[in-house]
Amino acid sequence: MIDDKKVLFSGMQATGNLTLGNYLGALKNWLTLSDEYECFYSVVDLHSITVRQDPAELRSRARKLLTLYIAAGLDPKKNCIYYQSHVSAHAELSWILNCFTYMGELNRMTQFKDKSAKHADNINAGLFTYPVLMAADILLYQADVVPVGKDQLQHLEITRDIAQRFNAIYGDVFTIPEPYLGKSGAKIMSLQDPTKKMSKSDENVNASIYLMDDKDTIIRKFKRAVTDSDGCVAYNDTQIGIHNLIDIYSACTGKTPEEIVKEFDGKGYGDFKLAVGESVADILMPLQERFHQLEKDKAYIDGIIKENAEKAGYFANKTLRKVQKKVGFPERIR
């Protein structure tokens, strides 16, 4: 707890381009949390290298992601927005926690199995111990809460197990994090396969709306969105493509699904898809304009990177020094 506020930690990988799903499902909701929580939002670039990256591209994507956090409305004075790789305590604590994590626990991680199948030519140890680095990310800041989707809940559970195991041996060292149970973000599905989440790694560019897509591109992608042959705008579990488009329109306009169905009663899918595309373009335009302004202000972004790395490092190292002392490492001579 910092200044009587509970601590919240979250982050996104510096790979691919952020999608509308990332924005509506997570980033948009982050904006409301800084009044209630002390928030640490990381660009988790250490996690990114479990898959081979082009170095120049990774640096560029990391900076763009940090800039997007700010362009989306996160105040870097109220929220600690930083690069994971600029705080060495993440990697140091991860090694220590590796020694308190069991192989059997890591073997059960479904995400390791999924990623191993996708990257069969590069099943590296980092991919296997990825959940331990995630645990270090969270525990370094004594996070009380972590916003997680269903696909990350297993990683939070192993984080809690590791923390409880360490505390049982050495005393009350780590805060045991809870999943953030506030208002959940919209779950946005692929425009080409509405049974799957919209993903920044989808090979089909028409499946995802990227945050920097221009209006014409957005409209074109929605026109190509998979629907069905029913021809009517209805909110049910059988018309999953239309269900997804209604969820998107609802998240962008604030209208309820019932209001949307009524609005498009008697109208075809063409009218509806156009309206959804325009609503998405409208909410992304201010973010895009702000991003382009910030991108030109190199000194401002550099200042935030330096200042917030120092802030994150201060809190992270407080925890790391305590852990190092508990496990018996020699104290540093200052």
Active site residues: 115, 197, 200
Nearest to 10 by CA among 110, 142, 137: 137
Token output for 13: 């990988």
Encode 56-106 in three state secondary structure.
HHHHHHHHHHHHHHHHCCCCCCCEEEEEHHHCCHHHHHHHHHHCCCCHHHH
Helical packing angle, 215-223 and 269-296, nearest 10°: 150
For residue 7, what are the β-bridge partners? 38
CB proximity list for 161: less than 8 A, separation 6 or greater? 105
C-alpha distances (whole Å) from 86 to each of 167, 180, 322 are: 27, 26, 20
Instruction: Report the b/e string of 24-63 with b at 16+ CB within 10 A.
Output: bbbbbbbeebbeebbbbbbbbbbbbbbbebeeeebeebbb
- Tokens at 165, concatenated: 């195991």
Contact 155, 134 (CB under 8 A): yes
